[in-house]
Chains A and B, each alone.
Chain A
Amino acid sequence: MSDLLQSAAPLDEEALRALAEREGMRLDGRTFGQQAWARLRKHKLALFAAGLLVLISLSFIIGPMLSPYDITQPFPLDRILPPSWAHPFGTDAIGRDLMTRTLYGGRFSLLIAVVVSVLTTLIGTIIGALSGYLGGWVDALLSQITNLFLIVPALVVLIVVSRYMRSVTGTSILLALLLWPQIARVVRGLFLQYKNQEFVLAARAAGAGPARIMFRHILPNTIGPIVVSATLLVGGAIILESTLGFLGLGVRPPTPTLGNLVNEARGQLLTRPYEVLLPGTFVVLISLCINFLGDALRDALDPTTGRG
């Protein structure tokens, strides 16, 4: 190793391999991505979850195109039909095919969930990075805002603001504004952990400014946990969207989302429970798959969890 430290010139792969052999070490030529994939492949359950997730997403995207039924057009002759071959999920009180509506609703729910996850991760990462790296008043402000989120019931904000923004975009933005402190806390912790390590000090000594250090030097090290949090957020967002719909505060009907479908069917719980349980099952399935996938990603993206 001492040779490596003394030689300032970069070593080519040949020399590295020779050096490693002399020192009794194994040189792993794979990139970080390849190693992570090798570790992920060992989690059979997570791969199954990912496959199921792809299948569900495809059925959301393609399903409504193949269906012969319209999603909003009432068809009074076919009111409240129980599940059958023609209508696998039955029909609702004004004769709309519930399978078509569920798949189409799933499309909106999933879209909202992904947009929320991306937005939340962006906002949370920037604020978390600033707060962790700069500390001082920025950090104090963030911790006070986090406390404020505990005190002000989310419901109050949701009910008041949802009067003005109940489109797909509006609901997404609203959820992102409520969720970003979760990511910010994770990112802040990581930045605190890295900001006094040698590579950061070296970068600072070499004259790098705070923005460069934060986003070029520290951020790449935090990608793993951020990706994991973003994945789990998709699950959290789909649950929140359906809960908003259940309370009648989500995207304005007649646009179907999984939450809106549950809300419409709520009154029939005692007579036709399947109308509530079917869209609910999709929410649970998606969120469950995402949790298993996120948990496996946590292992796979952590460079300290062995060589896989």
Chain B
Amino acid sequence: MLAYTLRRVLATIPLLIIGTFIVFALTSQVADPLGPLRLNVNADQAAYDRIIDQYDLDKPVPVRYVNWITSAVQGDMGESAAYTGTPVFDLVSERAINTARLAIPAFLIIALLAVGLGVYSAVNQYKTSDYVVTGISFLGISMPTFVFGLLLQSVLVVYFQRWFGIKLFYVAQMQTGSIVEVLKSHTLPILTLILVITAGESRFQRAAMLEVINSDYIRTARAKGLPRRTVIFKHALRNAMIPLVTIWAIDFAALLGGSVITESVFSWPGLGRLLLDGIGRSDLNLTMGIVLLIATLVVVFNLIADLLYGLLDPRIRYE
């Protein structure tokens, strides 16, 4: 197990390097640290030289990348140009906390809902209740995140206030004071994330559950007279949840990395909007800092999922 973990970690390093290099090369293509100077008629050659030296602009992209990654692995991610010299590390960690405020509660609710709905739907296959759950999850899959977010805002905030004169939720602001304020500002973005992700996950859980329910050992368990409830929850669910672990890992990593659309709909000061901002303003250091965090999250959670797989399913053994 330890050897396997070690090998997996080593195998992901080239992937991380190639991935971050692609982003580095792409962003360098559009980033122009000399832009502000060009607009300034008083800028002398010394000012140009300083910027060129600071960003190694006289060196080719691969060399610049090597310089960046050597300081990054030592914990120095440079300074953000768009946020006037704030260290990227501070900026990213502050925004990562804001993103986690949405990601963690959303993920916990999604995990519970997806398993619940998937099992319910599978157990009642082809009954009205299954069709209702299926219909709702199709709606969730078909609804672009921004449409649902904007719909929630316009109905629950704008129209609700027009009709009843009460402002139910805050629009476009994060509040962390009292419990009421937290609820008023966090509920809608979390709800948006829940609908969009639960829809896909519950379909997946339903399919996995159906496959297990129709297998021989479940028929045996039923045939020897065990109660339906015991068979479903103790025999079937345990195995049907194994494939979901991979999906959970991917979704949780994506949530923690910041959801760009949800955060821009609700003007949430999280990682997703910071990334959008970073690339939009051609801020190389900032973009790279966030991408490194996202890539690490993906790799770590994938590894955790693989290891959990081995623990949950005794048929899988890692050498």
Chain A residues close to B by CB (< 8 Å): 144, 147-148, 150-153, 155-157, 159-161, 163, 235, 239, 242-243, 246-247, 262, 266, 269-270, 273, 276-277, 280, 283-284, 287-288, 290-292, 295
Contacts and interface: CB of A to CB of B under 8 A. Distances in A.
A262 B30 CA distance: 27
B145 interface: yes
B26 interface: yes
A308 to B, nearest CB: 16
A246 B147 CA distance: 9
A292 B19 contact: no
Chain B interface size band reads: 35 or more
B145 to A, nearest CB: 7
Nearest to B297: A151
A9 B41 CA distance: 90
Contacts of A277: 147, 150-151, 154
A291 B19 contact: no
Contact of B159 (A150, A273, A290): A273
B27 A160 contact: yes
B158 A291 contact: no
A156 B30 CA distance: 11
Given A151-B16, A153-B294, A160 B139 contact: no
26 contacts: A144-B15, A148-B15, A148-B18, A151-B294, A151-B298, A153-B294, A156-B26, A156-B27, A159-B276, A159-B279, A161-B26, A239-B144, A242-B146, A243-B144, A246-B144, A246-B261, A247-B276, A270-B158, A273-B158, A273-B159, A280-B146, A280-B147, A280-B150, A280-B151, A283-B147, A284-B144
A283 B250 CA distance: 26
A279 to B, nearest CB: 9
B91 to A, nearest CB: 17
Contacts of A150: 250, 298, 302
Contacts of B150: 262, 266, 269, 273, 276-277, 280
Contact of A269 (B142, B143, B158, B294): B158
B15 A246 contact: no
A291 B135 CA distance: 10
B299 A151 contact: yes
B30 A163 contact: yes
B208 to A, nearest CB: 16
Most buried by B among A151, A235, A290: A151
B307 interface: no
A151 B295 contact: yes
B23 to A, nearest CB: 5
Nearest to B288: A156
A242 B144 contact: yes
Nearest to B171: A270
A183 B43 CA distance: 53
Most buried by B among A152, A239, A291: A152
Contacts of B287: 156
Nearest to B276: A155
A269 B298 contact: no
B29 interface: yes
B146 A262 contact: yes
B279 A160 contact: yes
B111 to A, nearest CB: 20
B18 A156 contact: no
B275 interface: yes
B279 A284 contact: no
B142 A288 contact: yes
